[in-house]
Amino acid sequence: MILKNFNELKTYLDTPKDIVIIGHKNPDGDAVGATLGLKHYLDKKGHETQVLLPNEFPEFLRWIPGTETVYRFDRQNKQSVRSLKKSEIIFLLDFNALHRVGDDMQNTLEKYEHDFALIDHHQQPDDFTYMYSDTSMSSTCQMVYNFIEMMGDTAIIDADIATCLYTGIMTDTGSFRFRSTTSATHRIIADLIDKGAKNDKIHSNVYDANTYSRLLLLGQALTNLQIYPEYKTAFITLSQKEKDKFNYQKGDTEGIVNYALSLQGIIFAAIFIEDKEQGIIKISFRSKGTFSVNKFARNYFNGGGHDNAAGGRSNVSLGETIEKFKSLLPNYQKELMNSYEE
């Protein structure tokens, strides 16, 4: 755990400040929940805040309180740049290095003249003036709760803050099932429910938001599933053509990789998704036990993340990417076999 200059930050926030809060590119439930949860809290403390996200977030997160106030850097660029110019400090939430916001926004942030405050649970964070980094945490939303607690302010957590933070903890823990879920996570969740988070509604809003075409896309993904029991590995592919056929919308492929991991005896799962617009193959990796997909993604697929959940990309074709992936598996046979005790 790294806690850097927290007391200085606490003192700095004693008087009202103009604050920008940023999440990573392709924001997920944790990024949206954490940025908006922190925003509602800081607003309550009398600060002026603006949440900026690099690009679109999935439709199934649109109900989260405060999403209508968010500026998208790619679409509302002028407003975004204006709020950055007048801000006095930037909070960076749910990512560990500036390149995670995408090239355009990164270039702008690199010219920023004031301080950054990072709250994040990813490995190997870059250095910023103020830092709260803890890779053992389930989610950045859990850390925002801890941050509010360290500020001595849990009493002012209201239903909006509680709803935002509950959502990110829920999505980043796979509904409280991943290894990172601890008794502390559950205690925080209990407190968030007491403070007004409607747990049944939140689950339903996020997980029961399928469109028919999304289910058909899932069907296609499952049809494409390939299993390599000798490496305890399974992976899924989705081509651009298949995405188009089933009217792919942002967020539709979220969580599909977990179906590969749900197979008996499988401890390493991947999904390869062709993105013709960006000219890349976007990859998600998941694992169980000690096999680190963070290292695997870093070493071979320009990515990173956590030990059991990471992502990356490839600039060659879908077919070539899969060949590369398959050719790597024999090197890890022993590690994969010993990663997880059933």
User: Could you give the CA distance from residue 220 to residue 308 in angstroms, rounded to a whole number?
Assistant: 25
For ligand 5GP, the closer CB: 102 or 196? 102
Region of 50-58, 92-100, 239-247, 332-340 interacting with Mn ion (CB under 5 A): 92-100
> How many residues make contact with Mn ion (CB under 5 A)?
4
User: Could you give the CA distance from residue 240 to residue 277 in angstroms, rounded to a whole number?
Assistant: 9
Q: How far is CA 285 from CA 149, 214, 236, 256, 288, in A?
A: 33, 21, 11, 11, 11
The residue ranges of DSSP E strands in 54-190, in sequence order, are 71-72, 89-93, 115-120, 130-133
Determine if 94 is a binding residue for Mn ion (CB under 5 A): yes
Contact present, 159 and 194 (Cβ < 8 Å): no
Determine if 289 is a binding residue for ligand 5GP (CB under 6 A): no
For ligand 5GP, the closer CB: 24 or 232? 24
Q: Which does 306 bind (CB under 5 to 8 A by kind): Mn ion, ligand 5GP, none?
A: ligand 5GP
Q: What mask of x and - would describe binding to Mn ion in positions 29 to 58, judged by CB under 5 A?
A: -x----------------------------
Binding to Mn ion (CB under 5 A) within 167-226 occurs at: 172
For ligand 5GP, the closer CB: 45 or 313? 313
Rule CB under 6 A: choose which of 168, 305, 308, 325 binds ligand 5GP: 305
Binding to Mn ion (CB under 5 A) within 97-156 occurs at: 140
Determine if 306 is a binding residue for ligand 5GP (CB under 6 A): yes
Residue 302, Cβ neighbours under 10 Å: how many?
14
- The least distance separating Mn ion from the CB of residue 140, rounded to whole angstroms, comes to 5
Contact present, 342 and 232 (Cβ < 8 Å): no
Sheet holding 48-53, edge to edge: 2-4, 130-133, 115-120, 89-93, 18-22, 48-53, 71-72
- The least distance separating Mn ion from the CB of residue 173, rounded to whole angstroms, comes to 10
- The least distance separating ligand 5GP from the CB of residue 261, rounded to whole angstroms, comes to 12
End-to-end CA distance of the chain, in Å?
30
Q: What mask of x and - would describe binding to ligand 5GP in positions 244 to 283, judged by CB under 6 A?
A: ----------------------------------------
Determine if 33 is a binding residue for ligand 5GP (CB under 6 A): no
Phi, psi of 126 (to 5 degrees): -70, 170
- The least distance separating Mn ion from the CB of residue 13, rounded to whole angstroms, comes to 23
Residue type, 337: M
Q: Helix 159-172 crosses helix 140-150 at what angle (to 10 degrees)?
A: 140
- The least distance separating Mn ion from the CB of residue 82, rounded to whole angstroms, comes to 28
The contact set with ligand 5GP (CB under 6 A) reads 284, 303-306, 309-313
